[in-house]
Amino acid sequence: MTPGVADFDALIMMKIQAAIILFNDFTEDIDPYGQHDFGAFSVDVNGEDTKIWFKIDLYNPSYNAGSEKPDDTTQTRRVMTIMLPSEY
């Protein structure tokens, strides 16, 4: 997670985690290739809707480059980044 997300308290972090686990709003706008590797949603932070993004990237086992065979789980490591849009 990015520093802006890490600054939230434990209750907000639980809301964010739950929203990611339950996320299923993969529209063509945010998922044009059907890869389900990006999501955007809002959580209530002190009475304000705060936009959160998550992104999943596919790396090789050394984490130093993209995976050459993304559908091979023995050669691919998935990394999720949780961020505020302003941190992109």
In this prediction, residue 31 carries a pLDDT of 93
pLDDT for 50-86, tens place per residue? Answer: 999 999 999 999 999 999 999 999 999 999 999 999 9
pLDDT for 4-59, tens place per residue? Answer: 999 999 999 999 999 999 999 999 999 999 999 999 999 999 999 999 999 999 99
pTM: 0.89
For tokens 């809301």, name the residue: 15
CB count, 10 Å around CB of 5? Answer: 19
In this prediction, residue 66 carries a pLDDT of 96
